């Protein structure tokens, strides 16, 4: 498998979301972005002269095919993240059809890799005092988590059966914690800071010779909901933040 070329052109779906915005702002000089979102008007007030804006409904396969043309890596963040979202009204189109369409289009258009944003909700039905490893079976607690399990399986299929390099990132509790805030132990153990998120996603884009990987996205919290052993080894991920220290729980 070839090294991902750098600088590369990245299709960033869900580009108006919090994670996508933080990643794009941090890596603005490093990549060329095609910024795609169903609500692209949310980005039109930003100064983005070097990047392309695309209105994209990921439930539309033809639109996904067009969005993936000329792209090296797809960072697929578009989804309905609401754990209470209705399956037929939202999750089916945004999370099920959208995941398949992006992988299908990326393969058809010759993209080199898809980085798929999964979620800790894919394993959230495990007891809260049990750390979850990447080798453990999925155990979703809601239908949103079920859709992320589907996306993980789609990523594995396209990697092993169609040869498309695919990395799944189970994102924990992405947040910008500040001292003095109150959060649950689960929130802190699953915390992923903005700076650690940027490092992890960058490693997912640039680490060569990966056909398929499932990795965990949390910071270096004293207690970790998700085990980082495989993530550290495979991606040379070195998180620096700890929710317990940030919040003054020593």
Question: What would the pLDDT profile of 10-68 be if each residue is shown by its tens digit?
Answer: 999 999 999 999 999 999 888 999 999 999 888 877 767 778 999 999 999 999 999 99
Query: Would you state the torsion angle of the CA atoms of residues 233, 243, 226, 131, taken in this order, to the nearest 10 degrees?
Result: 120
| Per-residue b or e along 211-244, where b marks 16 or more CB atoms closer than 10 Å to that residue's CB | ebbbbbbbbbbeebbbbbebbeebbebebebbbb
Q: Is the pTM of this model over 0.85?
A: yes
pLDDT, tens digit, for every residue of 57-113? 999 999 999 999 999 999 999 999 999 999 999 999 999 999 999 999 999 999 999
CATH code given to domain 9-246: 3.40.50.720
């Amino acid at each position: 498998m070839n090294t991902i070329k750098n600088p590369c052109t990245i299709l960033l779906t869900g580009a108006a979301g919090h994670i996508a915005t933080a990643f794009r702002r941090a890596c603005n000089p490093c990549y060329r972005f095609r910024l795609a979102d169903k609500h692209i008007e949310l980005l039109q007030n930003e100064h983005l002269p070097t990047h392309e804006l695309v209105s994209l409904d990921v439930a539309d396969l033809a639109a996904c095919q067009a969005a993936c043309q000329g792209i090296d890596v797809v960072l697929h963040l578009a989804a309905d993240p609401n754990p209470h979202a209705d399956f037929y009204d939202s999750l089916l189109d945004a999370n099920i059809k959208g995941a398949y369409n992006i992988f299908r289009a990326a393969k058809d258009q010759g993209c080199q890799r898809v980085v798929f944003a999964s979620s800790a909700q894919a394993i959230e039905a495990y007891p809260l005092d049990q750390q979850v490893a990447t080798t453990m079976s999925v155990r979703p607690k809601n239908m949103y988590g079920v859709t992320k399990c589907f996306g993980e399986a789609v990523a594995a299929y396209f990697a092993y059966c169609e040869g498309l390099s695919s990395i799944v990132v189970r994102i924990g509790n992405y947040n910008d914690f500040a001292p003095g805030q109150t959060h649950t132990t689960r929130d802190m153990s699953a915390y992923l800071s903005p700076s650690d998120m940027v490092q992890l996603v960058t490693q997912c884009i640039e680490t060569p010779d990966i056909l398929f990987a499932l990795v965990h996205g949390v910071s270096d919290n004293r207690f970790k909901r998700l085990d980082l052993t495989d993530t550290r080894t495979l991606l040379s991920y070195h998180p620096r933040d700890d929710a317990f220290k940030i919040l003054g729980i020593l």
